[in-house]
Amino acid sequence: KTLVTQAEASGVRGSDVWFEPGTVGWGRERTRAHFFAFESPELARAAKSPAESKLYLNLNGTWKFSWSQRVSQTPAGFEAPAFDDSAWNDMPVPGNWELNGKGFPIYTNVVYTFHTDPPLIRYRGTDEDYNPCGAYRRDFTPPDSWFDEDREVFLYIGAVCCACRVWLNGTELGFSTDSKLPAEFKLTQHLVRGRNVLAMQVLCWSAGAYLEDQDMWWLAGITRDVYVYARPRQHIQDIEVRAGADGNLDVIAEVSTAGGSVASKGLRCELFNHDANGNPDASLCKFDLAFDVRSGKVAMARGSTRVNGIEKWTAETPVLYSLMVSLPSADGNKDIETVRLRVGFRTVEVRQGRLLLNGKPLTIRGVNRHEHDWTTGHVVSRDSMLEDIKLMKANNFNAVRCAHYPNDPLWYDLCDEHGLYVVDEANIESHGVDFSPEKTLGDKEEWGAAHFVRVQRYVERDKNYTSIIIWSLGNEAGNGVNHHRTYMWLKRRDPTRPVQYEHARIEATWSTEELETIDDNTDIHCPMYPSPAKLAKYGEIHETDTTSLPLIMVEYAHAMGNSLGGFAQYWDVIHKYGVLQGGFIWDWVDQGIETEKEGKSVWGYGGDFGGPDTPSDHNFCINGLVQPDRTPNPHLFEAKKVQQPVAFEVVDLKQGRIRAINRFNFVTLEHLEFSWSITADGVEAHGGTLPIVTTAPACEDIFSIPLPARPWKPQRQVPWEYHLTVTARLRQGTPLLPAGHEVAWEQWALEPDAAVTAPPRPLGGADLPVKVTEDAIVIAAGNLVASVSKARGLLSSLVVNGQELFVEALEPNFWRPPTDNDYGANLQKELGWWRLAGKKTRLVRGPTIVSTAPGVVTIEADLAVGWGGAQLATAYEVSAAGVQIAARWRPADLQHGCVIANGYGLFLQSRQQGKRIDVEGPHVAGRWGQEGPPKKGPDCQTIKLRTPSKEIGDLVCDGDVLALQVTTEKTEAKLIVHGIVPTAQPAKDLPPGVSGVTVDATGSPDVAAWTLRRVKGAGDLLSGDEVMFESENRFLAIVDGEAVALTGENAAELATFVVQAVPQLGPPRIGFRGLLHSGFEDVVFYGRGPHESYMDRFASARVLRHEGSIVDQTFRYVRPQENGNKMETRWMALKRGSAAIAAPAGLLVAAAGSSPTLAMQCHRFEPKAFDGPEDKLQQECKHGWAMEARSETHFFVDAAQMGVGGIDSWGSRPLPQHLIYGDQKFDWSFRLCPLSSEQVKADGEAYAVLARIPELNDLETAA
């Protein structure tokens, strides 16, 4: 407190105050615990808010406001009471300027909006002096009773961004920084009866903004409540309550004596339990706190008691009590003020390598949350907070990290009440300053007070909130003496909670795969974005070491766009090791702001506001589990399922014996009702409830399901597919969740019944007529006519009852619209040559009629894909039931003389020295030989040939002018790619006969600096070729391990490289796409749903029969991208609307042959609306809600699609098991069966039979 007082007392005054890092504030009241003192115990017990007190005056509402582009333009003398503000605009308080017509929102992630030159502020846009300033004015009239009763009066400003000066009636009261903490000023000596004028000057970016570089919108204004309140001259100044799990209740209070002796002997304390509505009920105990006068201004009071029979607070059982602390009058006959605090009894500690609550290890199922509203920005209402808590509890979260600043006090009240563990965090992030020790602000003495005061003030404000179980020193602010000092102070100040700091490590940056060296200023190892393998490594090393720190991921599973792939793999590892205690997903809400684009209301993100010079990190703020209006993104369901606190395992499926594992930390399973169901082809056939399960926390029990005797359904020629599902739901409702809310579930496939032995009735009849035209082979089968294109070998037409279904041919498809994670990992470039591969297939054999049988004709065609030798073999089996498509994918062999295409990755190995070119940062060198680097994968030295004049996937030839692209850096936003280029620096120590310059990786990746020269001369580039790269008569070479560009008679000998094709990833998807004419409206499908699912994100999708509109199968991510995939689909029936004319009534797409399930999608939106080019910023449709539904229907049928990934969105690919590799082969089949109106009416049962036996083409047999 001494340091705080000195820092505030010694600060600069006046107009120079803004840009002094050591001036953290002056004139403020010392920060205290957040509470309101009522004028009587009765009112304190009954009041729902301070507004019921006569000592409270709310100043929220409309203020007069003047906005200017820089502080020097603020109207002179505006603080004077007589100033004429009639021409000023209005501004809501609380409110952000930029969302109320003044200025524009700016979003950046890492870089500041201003040039990094602390403490100076120079805007990054065209006008470097741009730094908006707002002047506020309003008047208020305090009650006369406040003067009559000789009360002290204070101003409370909940939060101001970024810094402010305050005047009352023309007198400056003080200055405040820290845009997420309150500032309180004493008004008493400047207050007058009647009209008083309050004025404030708020600057957008002061020196303090260097510590507020969080990943969020830069928005200015007064963002929390403003009010005036009155107190007795002698009043309770601060209170600290510590309530332990053992029932011990300690209370420490400071009382302002107003410079005189204390009128009473002490404070009165009374503890109440709560009724069902959370109101104080029966009194549990009373005790007094005796005064100890410490100075002429402050008296201390301290006391404690043991409360027997208390219920402990946990997130699972958030039991609270009310503590009334009253200051009696001198005669003791009445209380002159009373403070009511809600108290939970609990104990937090780190002991023997575990984070413990009430003596038990915790599992943190957490999420990071920004204060964000899609219309009001950083002004968040109580209803919005409650909605967030409700959604978090409903989706099995038990913890939240206040990322990255102290929240509105109401948030902690609600977390106390409803049960969420909270990591509270100081408003400190200096991400835009280098993390290296010599540059970070965390190690600069001149920034010491700014760090210290921010930590001290938020801890003093929030010390009494039960839900806060961990303090955090800040986020991404480097490490150094300032963080070590705050850590040591905080450990002394509050020994009842652990302290964490993500950056408490020796290394400047963190690693996805390698363990960091943990520094001393953290009680918890809280890494960012580790891979599951890294977690497992920590678990293996530290599981049994009682001196190790527990690991809780401070951020992981970056939920940007279509993400959270591989989430189940994280929790598989967490459940394996006790030292791994969970983590906090990044993050909760897509930080979109409602705006209008092209006449449509959309969620805006960075770049949607301001001019072209506005700094922006674009849609990197869109990385939430829920959309801005709290509509769940599909990956929220995956988080809920994977984190569910009850797990189920099979003991004996035939006997219905299931093991229930209780992963709650404190409660039994008695509060849950367990039920079971058996589905047949996705529809419930049997079910029931189970007896009460009483499994204790962290224990397991086995229960039996009373499975009925088989057969469960009448037997038929196609066996029923059965699944068993067990579900746990709330037996009784909670204040936020209703009875019956689903908490956990699991599903297993059961053995099918035996099929009826009678063979299916095939379609007989004569051979089908086949017509070969100039363009196609045409087969007529009953009311169906199918055509296979002779030029391309594709199914080009499907006519039913004279009506064409296809808009265009059924086409191979190897591309998916890039997700944000794809862009982050540069996969849109690395795999870019697959983008048009399906459209550019070349017919190499056929189409040929290979067989005819009664009622069936089969046509085959082989297609070449790309130029590397990959082939897709197709067969079309046509009958009156429809068309069955069989496909066989055989990838290219990249290791044996394959051609090299534009965008391919390769190694360049020096023929003379045997070393490969490798890059670390900008340094280009010759290293390792054939064996490759000893501890790195081949990607570290992969070079991509990029010829700007050719499309990705076109062949590279002798004489092409190209760029040599390499990855030089991975930031927390993207991979940084540069081109290898010659420099102007002369190379040293060259052999005789040559001269040259050095080479580095600093060039633009899109600038072609080299001309390719094949040693063999003209022709396509092949793996194994010897080549040279020429730039302005210099040749790329390796000399003594260094890359150089040489000229001279001996240059050719040193400058020859052998091209070695790198094993490539396979295409992002392998399948077919089709486009149907208008009229299709609805879909029924049997597979995983109802929401989308992917190879690495399907745990939350049940195998059931699902239905809905085709339009709704598209998920509108804030930025359009790949979406809507349905894993393990057996069949998908696309149904025409009632307005459609003529047959067919629908089209069935069904997995067939050796493919029991496939991935399928259907959309009424153009896939190109989801798609983006190499540069995401150039995407044609940038907002999901700007997309327009079309009348046509697109459908996709895939043998495979790679996972969406989810470690991070700036370099990490999906996990290895969730990729498609260049040597993988795929065989698959599916059917297209027209549906009659009778079949559509019969719905799923007819679909299931048709899907498996297309010869059964009449409804009678199908039934």
Catalytic residues, by residue number, are: 476, 555
Characterize 279-295 residue by residue with b for buried, 16 or more Cβ atoms within 10 angstroms of its Cβ, and e for exposed. Answer: ebeeebeebebebeeee
Contact 1197, 1071 (CB under 8 A): yes
- Tokens linked to 709: 């005797």
- Here the tokens at position 913 are 């020295």
Which residue in 1162, 1151, 1167, 1140 sits closest to 1231, CA to CA?
1151
Q: What does the alpha-carbon distance between residue 762 and residue 1255 come to, in Å, rounded to a whole number? A: 5
Terminal-to-terminal C-alpha distance of the chain: 82
Distance CA 217, CA 107 (A): 4
Q: Which of 1150, 247, 1253, 256 is nearest to 758 (CA)?
A: 1253
Q: What is the rounded CA–CA span in Å between residue 977 and residue 966?
A: 6
Residue 79 φ/ψ, nearest 5 degrees: -75, -15
User: How many residues make up the chain in this entry?
Assistant: 1263
Task: Tell me the DSSP string of 1136-1189.
Answer: E-TT--SS-SEEEEEE-TT-S-EEEEEESS-HHHH---SSGGG-S---GGG---
Q: How far apart are CA 578 and CA 574, in angstroms?
A: 7
Which residues are CB-neighbours of 841 under 8 A, at least 6 positions away?
792, 793, 812, 863, 864, 865, 872
**Tokens 């991070």 label which residue?**
1208
In the 8-state DSSP scheme, what is residue 1009?
-
**How many angstroms separate the CA atoms of 1013 and 999, rounded?**
18
Q: How many CB atoms lie within 10 A of CB 215?
A: 26
Q: How far apart are CA 836 and CA 810, in angstroms?
A: 15
Tokens encoding 276: 């069902």
Give the span between the Cα atoms of 405 and 369, in whole angstroms: 10
CB 1147 within 8 A of CB 1080: yes
Single-letter residue type at 462: D
The answer to whether the CB of 170 falls within 8 A of the CB of 137 is no
Neighbours of 425 (CB within 10 A): 29
Closest CA to 1057 of 1077, 1071, 1043, 1073: 1043
CA quadruple 242, 245, 246, 247: dihedral, nearest 10: 60
For helices 409-418 and 382-394, what crossing angle results, to 10°? Answer: 40
Closest CA to 865 of 845, 843, 884: 843
Q: Which of 354, 363, 284, 296 is nearest to 322 (CA)?
A: 284
Write down the residue that tokens 């795929």 correspond to.
1226
Q: Residue 1045 is encoded by which pair of tokens?
A: 């560009």
- From residue 1255, give the alpha-carbon distance in Å to each of 270, 762, 802, 1259: 81, 5, 21, 11
Residue 1206, judged by CB atoms within 10 A of its CB (0-12, 13-18, 19+), counts as: buried
Phi, psi of 482 (to 5 degrees): -65, -35
